[in-house]
A = this chain, B = another copy of it.
Amino acid sequence: MSYTLHRGDALTVLKALPDECIDAVITDPPYNSGGRTSSERTSRTARAKYTSGDAAHDLANFPGENRDQRSYRSWLTELLTEAYRAATEHSVAMVFTDWRQEPTTSDALQMAGWTWTGTIPWIKPASRPRKGGFKQSSEFILWGVKGTLNKDRDLYLPGHFIASQPRKGRVHITQKPVEVMQQLVRICPEGGTVLDPFTGSGSTGVAALRERRNFVGVELSPHYADVADGRLRRELTQDDFVLAGPEA
Which residues of chain A have a CB within 8 Å of any CB of chain B?
44, 47-48, 51-59, 77-78, 81, 84-85, 92, 99, 102-103, 106-107, 110-121, 123, 127, 129-138, 140, 143, 147, 149-160, 187
Contact = CB atoms under 8 A, between A and B. Distances in A.
Contacts of A133: 92, 117-118, 143, 149, 155, 157, 187
A121 B118 contact: no
Nearest to A56: B81
A59 to B, nearest CB: 6
A110 B147 contact: no
A26 B128 CA distance: 24
A54 B119 CA distance: 22
A119 B102 contact: yes
Nearest to A108: B56
A224 to B, nearest CB: 28
A155 B137 CA distance: 16
A76 to B, nearest CB: 11
A198 to B, nearest CB: 19
26 contacts: A47-B110, A48-B115, A48-B116, A51-B113, A53-B113, A54-B84, A56-B78, A56-B112, A57-B110, A57-B111, A57-B113, A92-B133, A99-B118, A102-B103, A118-B134, A119-B138, A120-B134, A121-B123, A121-B138, A121-B140, A121-B160, A129-B156, A130-B156, A131-B153, A131-B156, A132-B150
A147 B106 CA distance: 27
B55 A113 contact: yes
Nearest to A92: B133
A58 B81 CA distance: 12
A57 B153 CA distance: 30
Contact of A159 (B52, B53, B58, B123): B123
